[in-house]
Homo-oligomer: A and B are copies of this chain.
């Protein structure tokens, strides 16, 4: 069969970026009682979004609008830019895949952080890009070192998530904006703002959507609670946005997804309520961590990363013992970040289940 694959694909490993919780449930033979591993929003989507999806279901015999006109215009109005600055795709994952194909030919240099979002690296590898991975500075991504690596390698892309996943840290938006003039001319900053809706004031940098040096990525999966729809969007200079049309799956964002996202965007009250609930749940998780001798890291996201104080093997054992008690959580993939476990916020029942399970997991 490998004779059918391109030499590039034949060289790729057979790994996948993430194993889903359903697969873990099937392996362990019991369901999770608390789903706190994928940074989903246990507070759910807006009731208006649920109603819009339900209303759209009967019309699912029609393809979604491939131009995604209504949603694109609503996003543009929300951010005070034009629809030409906005491209909607099958989640940030889908947009990252298309962006990689637009910009990365085999051998092209790309910079990311060591331990940052694996799906970005997955898509770069699929295009034959050569990754330079810059260590975190404690629990922060390191803008100075990332810039230095981009300059040294003349990177085509520099990927940075702010707020960050998996560590939950953030830089003030002004720090991100200050990176732009220092980028080498060949480098496009890929700013993953999946958690931007949940960060403290000032996290979102003041960058013109016409700035050709950056592409920003947003999602309906986190604050808006619509991970199961797979819908996100990119904000960039209209020329770069237009290039997506050359290769993207034009009908890839379905009709129910567009309807649900539009209704979610229009219910900013719900997003405000979710932000307050997330902040409160973060505090509960921090307290639970501290009470159990773990060190909770500051979080600008919908999860709390907890330093377990030892190595990856230890953190992994804790995860395994949490899973045995029905708690789905995750951990960073590489050292030294893998001294931590990462626990998403959830509703009161989910957090109580975690609080109940953690002492046993640590005593194991």
Q: Is the CB of A61 within 8 A of B90?
A: no
Q: Is the CB of A61 within 8 A of B38?
A: no
Complexed CA–CA distance, A257 and B243 (Å): 28
Q: Mark A1-21, 1 if CB is under 8 A from B, else 0.
A: 111111111001110111010
Main secondary structure of the interface of A (DSSP, over half): loop
Which of B16, B226, B251 contacts A61, CB < 8 Å?
B226
Q: Is the CB of A5 within 8 A of B60?
A: no
Q: Which residue of B lies closest to A22 (CB)?
A: B65
Q: What's the nearest-Cβ distance from chain B to residue A1, in Å?
A: 4
Q: Mark A45-72, 1 if CB is under 8 A from B, else 0.
A: 1000110011011111111111101000
Which of B40, B56, B69, B156 contacts A23, CB < 8 Å?
B69
Complexed CA–CA distance, A105 and B128 (Å): 12
Q: Which residue of B lies closest to A26 (CB)?
A: B69
Count of chain A residues with a beta carbon within 8 Å of a chain B beta carbon: 86
Complexed CA–CA distance, A22 and B243 (Å): 21
Q: Which residue of B lies closest to A64 (CB)?
A: B228
Q: Is the CB of B230 within 8 A of A252?
A: yes
Complexed CA–CA distance, A104 and B17 (Å): 23
Q: Is the CB of A246 within 8 A of B13?
A: yes
Complexed CA–CA distance, A213 and B5 (Å): 13
20 new A-B contacts, CB < 8 A, other than A17-B250, A61-B227, are A1-B212, A3-B186, A5-B102, A6-B103, A9-B246, A20-B65, A20-B66, A23-B67, A45-B61, A50-B58, A57-B260, A60-B225, A63-B227, A90-B249, A91-B251, A94-B252, A97-B249, A230-B252, A230-B253, A254-B254
